[in-house]
C-alpha cells in the first residue's frame, strides 16, 4: 500500500484517468517525468492511427506518476532497484526486484482521487 493510499499528507491525489489529466498532474507534481512522458506520447501515440497502444501507455505512466508523487514510495522503489543493481548475489537481486515490482504493481492499481 502506498503512503498516499493511507492518506499521507502532502501526497496529491491521483487525477482523472485520462492522458490529459495525467499529463497535467505530472506537470504540476512530478515535472521531472514530463520530458519522458511527452517523448513517449509523441513517439507512440500522437500520430498513431490506432488507439491500441493507449492503454499500455496509460498503465505505464499511471504507475510512474503514482510512485513519483509520493516521495517516500519513490525513495523506497529506487532503493530496492538500486540495491538489486548493486547486488552480487542473484538471489538477493531477485528478491529486491520482486519487492520493487510489488510496489510498482500496487501503484498502478491506485484509483483516481486516492
The pLDDT value recorded for residue 5 is 46
The pLDDT value recorded for residue 4 is 44
Model confidence at 21: pLDDT above 70: yes
Model confidence at 1: pLDDT above 50: no
39 in Cβ contact with 4 (< 8 Å)? no
* Cell matching residue 24: 497535467
- What span, in angstroms and rounded, lies between the C-alpha atoms of 48 and 52? 9
Model confidence at 70: pLDDT above 90: yes
**Model's pTM, two decimal places?**
0.87
For cell 499511471, the residue is 62
CB within 8 A of 3, min separation 6: which ones?
A: 11, 70, 72, 73
Q: How many residues does the chain have?
A: 114
Which of 92, 82, 106 lies closest to 1, judged by CA?
106
pLDDT, mean over the chain: 92
pLDDT digits over 23-67, tens only? 999 999 999 999 999 999 999 998 878 889 999 999 999 999 999
Model confidence at 10: pLDDT above 60: yes
Amino acid at each position: 500500500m502506498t503512503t498516499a493510499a493511507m492518506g499521507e499528507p502532502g501526497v496529491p491525489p491521483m487525477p482523472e484517468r485520462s492522458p490529459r489529466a495525467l499529463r497535467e498532474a505530472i506537470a504540476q507534481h512530478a515535472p521531472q517525468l514530463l520530458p519522458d512522458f511527452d517523448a513517449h506520447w509523441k513517439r507512440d501515440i500522437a500520430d498513431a492511427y490506432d488507439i491500441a497502444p493507449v492503454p499500455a501507455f496509460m498503465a505505464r505512466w499511471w504507475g510512474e506518476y503514482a510512485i513519483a508523487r509520493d516521495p517516500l514510495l519513490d525513495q523506497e522503489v529506487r532503493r530496492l532497484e538500486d540495491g538489486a543493481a548493486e547486488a552480487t548475489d542473484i538471489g538477493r537481486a531477485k528478491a529486491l526486484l520482486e519487492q520493487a515490482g510489488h510496489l510498482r504493481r500496487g501503484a498502478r492499481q491506485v484509483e483516481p482521487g486516492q
